[in-house]
Amino acid sequence: MVRPHLLLHPPAPPVTPRPAATLLLVRDGPEGPQLLMTRRSAQARFAPGAYVFPGGAVDAADHAAVREGVALRCRPGEEPATVAAMLAAVREAFEELGVLLARDARGRWVEGRELAVLDRHAPLLPQCRAHGLELALDEVHWLAYWITDRDLPIRFDVPFFVAPMPPQQAPQADGREQFEPLWVTPAEALRRHEGGDFPMVFPTVRTLQHLQRYTSAAALLADCAARGAPAWVSCPRAGWLGGQEARFMEHEPPFGELELVAPDGQLVHALDWRHDSAVPLLRHLRRLTAPNPGRMTGPGTNAYLVGEPDTGCIVVDPGPDDAGHLERLFAAAGGDVRAIVCTHSHPDHAPGAYPLQARVRAAGRPAPPVLGLASAATARPHSRWAPERSLVDGERLTLAGPDGVVRHTLRVVHTPGHAANHLCLLLEEDGLLFSGDHILNGSTTVIDPPDGDMDAYLRSLERLRALCLEEGVRFILPAHGHVLGEAPAAIERLIAHRLQREAKVAAALAAHPQGDLDTLVRLAYDDVSPALWPVARRSLLAHLKRLDAARFEALLETDA
């Protein structure tokens, strides 16, 4: 856990979200599934003028009605809290749009004449009992679970449910909270939103993006019924991107960085990639991204500065030998660089180490040692490099204050796989892992034999996963891309992805035991852009080494 006094922003506990529920009513239209949406009042406190699905607060009466169990038709075993939320969603759809998900005593859907005798502004369940109706909560299914973003002044805790639109009913807005009910396909709503004439809040947009995959209302309902649980649970986080407010879900690359920089959800952090100055992440941690963006480097190589003004800095991965970049690194450190560590010897990581050391020496300061591991004999010519001193697995590099008390400790973790001399660093006091190229955000690293080794890579991943669990590591700081959160889970997903890819390689090899690399890549990486297949060939070879050593040797020779 990051030490609280080193956070950039003071605590700002988010507003407690209010329980609410939303109902997506679905039917089939000429172009596929349609959803019933409506426009909120321009005077509403939350999302004024936005197009939404019907819904509202879950109140005490909803919970009381569930305890009574009268006029409710539910699936066996449903949690009472879930039933109360379903009831609230159905009730709100009736109050706002006059649509009632209910059946009569003979099990038929309620129709217009029966609806006409009901008062939308009076308690619903007593009316249902009086007319022998049951709310069809057994037709309501989980879709998603949203918790409103932490930075907003009004927040809701909102299950999103989906149900079929009752036949022979027509929506009619109440004219107070909701206006202009309409049926719209997800694609049409998103197109209009992009065009600027269909305002929607973030959860609505992301829900519609998810629903685009369905070709019929029946398919959507069947999928939700089979799942029996939310397809996702999300409390998004917000940052600035291109000068505009941008929000992200947990699986998206910027989410972990936003959580690290502003754990209480303040809208304060800019996510734009900058090469001109260091980006503060914590009071003792900054990132300066080298101006070397590309297919293999993403936005560029991240150099990290660990330390405070009175402790000096350790620079992790100084990057390429780019004079402007190294001068910015020197300035960001205030010239006080105590050590330079390279996670490995690839040309976008290590070449700047000795020139940065020389820049510090030229300023009249003690020359910081250049640390890391020497490249192995298997390294390609452009990756041959040696540090002044080789680090030892488990060794600790420390920064102390003027009083001699150690404040920041980086533990060395040898992680061969991407390169034979690859290492990671654990900032022990804060549970932060600097992963070099072993773990990236938004892409998977290339394993390039013979210096790269898939067996070693997967073993190193397992070691890092265990380390994260043992040390309570939550955040990973990669050499390319934003900070990752939920470190153990992120590593588990990466391991699973690699093994799934290996299964595809094995299937391709079984189908074409004498296939050349082009054939195997086309089959095993059919979900990857062909533009990336030349790079994928290298990782495919690494998988082949684990699966069929003889075939690996033969193909390695042809790909040399």
Task: State mean pLDDT over 312-328.
Answer: 98
Which pLDDT tens digit goes with each residue over 481-494?
999 999 999 999 99
Task: State mean pLDDT over 448-468.
Answer: 96
Residue percentage of the chain with pLDDT more than 90: 87
Of residues 180 and 471, more confidence is placed in 471
Q: State yes or no: pLDDT of 342 exceeds 90.
A: yes
What local confidence, expressed as pLDDT, does residue 560 receive?
59
Q: State yes or no: pLDDT of 137 exceeds 90.
A: yes
Token pair belonging to 76: 């066996």
Which residue is listed with tokens 């502004």?
Answer: 121
pTM of the predicted protein model: 0.93
**At CB < 8 A and 24+ separation, what contacts does 125-130 make?**
125/65, 125/70, 125/71, 128/71, 128/102, 129/70, 129/71
Cα dihedral 511, 512, 516, 520, rounded to 10, equals: 0
Three-class secondary structure of residue 312 per DSSP: strand
Which residue is listed with tokens 């972990």?
Answer: 256
Which residue is listed with tokens 């452009």?
Answer: 382
Beta strands 389-390; 370-372: pairing state: parallel
Output the average pLDDT for the chain.
94
Q: State yes or no: pLDDT of 174 exceeds 70.
A: yes
Task: State mean pLDDT over 447-465.
Answer: 96
Q: Which value, in Å, is the radius of gyration of the alpha carbons in the chain?
A: 29
C-alpha span between 534 and 543 (Å, rounded): 15
List b or e across 130-163, with b for residues whose CB sees 16 or more CB atoms inside 10 angstroms: eeebbbbbbbbbbbbbbbbbbbbeebbbbbbbbb
Q: Which amino acid is at 457?
A: Y
Choose the CATH number for 282-485 among 3.40.50.300, 3.60.15.10, 3.40.50.360, 3.40.50.12780: 3.60.15.10
Measured in whole angstroms, how far is the alpha carbon of residue 265 from the centre of its chain?
15
The yes or no reply on domain 18-235 and CATH 1.10.8.60 is no
C-alpha span between 550 and 220 (Å, rounded): 48
Cα angle at 227 between 225 and 229, to 5 degrees? 100
What local confidence, expressed as pLDDT, does residue 179 receive?
82
Token pair belonging to 267: 């809208």
C-alpha span between 395 and 414 (Å, rounded): 10
Task: State mean pLDDT over 82-108.
Answer: 95
Extents of the domains making up the chain: 18-235, 238-272, 282-485, 499-559
Distance spanning both ends of the chain, measured CA to CA: 46
Confidence band for 558, pLDDT divided at 50, 70 and 90: confident
Q: Judge whether 18-235 and 282-485 match in fold.
A: no
Partners of 239 in beta bridges: 246
